[in-house]
Amino acid sequence: MDKRLSIFVGILLLAGLSRAQVEVVDTIEVGGEPIGVSVNQVTNKIYVTNYASNDVFVIDGMTNSVIDSIEVGLSPLGISINLNTGKIYVANGESNSVSVIDGETDSVIATVPAGSAPNIVEVNSNTNKIYVTNYYADTISVIDGETNSVIAAIAVSGRPTDIGINWVTNKIYIGNEDSLWVSVIDGETDSLIRTILVNSISGGIGVNVNTNKIYVAHYENDDVSVIDGETDSVIAIIGVDGYPVGIEANLVTGKIYVANNDSCNISVIDGEIDSVIQTISVGKWPAFISVNDSTNRFYVTCGDDGTVWVLEDKTGVEETSNRLKVTDCKLEIYPNPFFQKTVIEFRVQSSKFKKEKSRIQIYDLIGRVIRTLPIPINRQSSVTKIVWDGTDGLGKKVCSGIYFCKLEVEGKVLTQKMCVVR
């Protein structure tokens, strides 16, 4: 068995309503000037670039402590992880290069030349391609993760600042600082297919692959544009606090987190209604965010005080007589891990259960819905058992790995990890 599969087997309950209650759970002193951050959800390790000391901190997600540092190129900024290969990619702004780190040994195994002033890097784990913004060259470098070589350079509107990838549609969205356009790249041909007019120059970009919405932060206007990924058009503008920079989506809860650099806080956006529902104070100059969907925690770098803030998205439970309480629900999966099939069993101790307001979905590790399972019509007891045969919506067997079973009942959510072993 792949040793990564044995890491997660237990149950994770994410019970509550759509409105998140985010809390600060820890602050990690890292020193220097932390900028980029990326979480490996398989190993539960967090990687943070230190712009001032030219290295990457490695944080243990269990203990929230720094366990290692890795020397990379000059002025490292963006960082991203391929969850399939475990490799970490670091954009070195002054070295004009990308460092490739082996996530098993936490050591640099390759250095790939990039364009002028690479600042942001994002990985498409499905295609094993790495996209790098070259700030002064006005281009996007495309790196083949197999060969660690540049296979394309794509011209964009001007001063690219961030990248958002929708792995389902294989489209890449680029924010540009010198124009009012978001560039859209087709990940199959690695060519520019259109530009989207937004209301201001762009900062960070976050993508919710489940809803196919793209969120673009505008630090000049203190707001966020919402783009419909089907039409590639702006459908909403959300006001946030001062100078929004980093932005990321939680694929389990559907929340979007925005780092407001000047206001030193985080705006929490409800992805269903696209409005701010909470604001949380953090350290000085919050810059970038990375979400661990499997622990429901996210990490914020604060460059001015040398810290990484750990926040947890805890969903609230509405305990009123006309809704189910979380204690009324129980989700079990057995066997787990499994080879061919597993039984998903849930119990709802309430007469208020309504099939039409409930559903079961299977997600992969990067947040794609790969299967929606029907709930039996003739539900005579409080116990419902559904067999999942380990296939996706097209009937194809899924690969070995970690998956999430998400049960929604009357506005409550229960989620459990599953391990498929082939």
- Does residue 276 belong to any structural domain of this protein? yes
Residue 385 belongs to a domain with what CATH number?
A: 2.60.40.1930
Q: Are residues 160 and 302 in the same domain?
A: yes
In terms of average pLDDT, the best of 253-262, 333-342, 375-384, 394-403 is 253-262
Give the pLDDT confidence of 216-243 residue by residue, as tens digits.
Answer: 999 999 999 999 999 999 999 999 999 9
* Contacts of 118 by beta carbon, 8 Å cutoff, 6+ apart: 77, 78, 91, 92, 93, 96, 97, 98, 132, 133, 134, 135, 141
Q: Are residues 293 and 332 in the same domain?
A: no
Give the pLDDT confidence of 118-157 residue by residue, as tens digits.
Answer: 999 999 988 999 999 999 999 999 999 999 999 999 999 8
Final residue of a domain: which of 270, 288, 315?
A: 315
Q: Are residues 155 and 265 in the same domain?
A: yes
Domain span at 385: 326-420
Predicted local confidence at residue 328, as pLDDT: 58
Query: What's the CA gap between 185 and 190, in Å, rounded?
Result: 6
Pairing type for strands 286-292 and 297-302 reads: antiparallel
Q: Are residues 405 and 274 in the same domain?
A: no
Q: Are residues 371 and 248 in the same domain?
A: no
More confident residue, 169 or 42: 169
More confident residue, 252 or 90: 90
Q: Are residues 308 and 282 in the same domain?
A: yes
- Quote the distance between the C-alpha of residue 47 and its chain's center: 14
Predicted local confidence at residue 392, as pLDDT: 92
Judge if pTM exceeds 0.75: yes
Predicted local confidence at residue 292, as pLDDT: 87
Predicted local confidence at residue 2, as pLDDT: 38
- Does residue 321 belong to any structural domain of this protein? no
Predicted local confidence at residue 238, as pLDDT: 98
- Does residue 5 belong to any structural domain of this protein? no
- Does residue 70 belong to any structural domain of this protein? yes
**Does 322 score more than 70 pLDDT?**
no
Q: H/E/C letters for each residue in the chain?
A: CCHHHHCCCCEECCCCCCCEEEEEEEEEECCCCEEEEEEECCCCEEEEEECCCCEEEEEECCCCEEEEEEECCCCEEEEEECCCCCEEEEEECCCCEEEEEECCCCEEEEEEECCCCEEEEEEECCCCEEEEEECCCCEEEEEECCCCEEEEEEECCCCEEEEEEECCCCEEEEEECCCCEEEEEECCCCEEEEEEECCCCCCCEEEECCCCEEEEEECCCCEEEEEECCCCEEEEEEECCCCEEEEEECCCCCEEEEEECCCCEEEEEECCCCEEEEEEECCCCEEEEEEECCCCEEEEEECCCCEEEEEEEEECCCCCCCCCCHHHEEEEEECCCECCCEEEEEEECCCCCCHHHEEEEEEECCCCEEEEECCCCCCCCCEEEEEECCECCCCCECCCEEEEEEEEECCEEEEEEEEECC
Final residue of a domain: which of 261, 281, 315?
A: 315
**Does 1 score more than 90 pLDDT?**
no
**Does 4 score more than 80 pLDDT?**
no
Predicted local confidence at residue 320, as pLDDT: 31
More confident residue, 254 or 328: 254
| Confidence category of residue 352, pLDDT binned at 50, 70, 90 | low
**Does 11 score more than 80 pLDDT?**
no
How many structural domains compose the chain?
2
Euclidean distance between the first and the last CA atom of the chain, given in angstroms as a whole number: 8
- Does residue 4 belong to any structural domain of this protein? no
**Does 30 score more than 80 pLDDT?**
yes
Final residue of a domain: which of 284, 315, 346?
A: 315
Question: What tokens appear for 76 in the block?
Answer: 């490292």
Q: Are residues 171 and 309 in the same domain?
A: yes
Q: Are residues 346 and 202 in the same domain?
A: no
Q: Which of 75-84, 332-341, 407-416 is least confident? A: 407-416
Q: Are residues 138 and 283 in the same domain?
A: yes
Q: Tell me how long the chain is.
A: 422
Q: Are residues 343 and 218 in the same domain?
A: no
- Does residue 7 belong to any structural domain of this protein? no
Q: Are residues 194 and 226 in the same domain?
A: yes
Q: What is the mean pLDDT of residues 92-114?
A: 97
- Residues 287-310 as b or e (16 or more Cβ within 10 Å = b): bbbbbbbbbbbbbbbbbebbbbbb
Query: What's the CA gap between 412 and 267, in Å, rounded?
Result: 23
Q: What is the mean pLDDT of the chain?
A: 87
Predicted local confidence at residue 415, as pLDDT: 83
| Confidence category of residue 69, pLDDT binned at 50, 70, 90 | very high
Q: Are residues 295 and 333 in the same domain?
A: no
Q: Are residues 228 and 247 in contact, defined by beta-carbon separation less than 8 angstroms?
A: no
Q: What is the mean pLDDT of residues 87-107?
A: 97
Q: What is the mean pLDDT of residues 50-64?
A: 96
Query: What's the CA gap between 97 and 94, in Å, rounded?
Result: 8
| Confidence category of residue 171, pLDDT binned at 50, 70, 90 | very high
- Which residue, among 357, 411, 348, 344, has the nearest Cα to 383 in the 3D structure? 348
More confident residue, 86 or 126: 86
Residue 217 belongs to a domain with what CATH number?
A: 2.130.10.10
- Quote the distance between the C-alpha of residue 77 and its chain's center: 18
- Does residue 55 belong to any structural domain of this protein? yes
**Does 56 score more than 70 pLDDT?**
yes
- Does residue 415 belong to any structural domain of this protein? yes
Predicted local confidence at residue 264, as pLDDT: 97
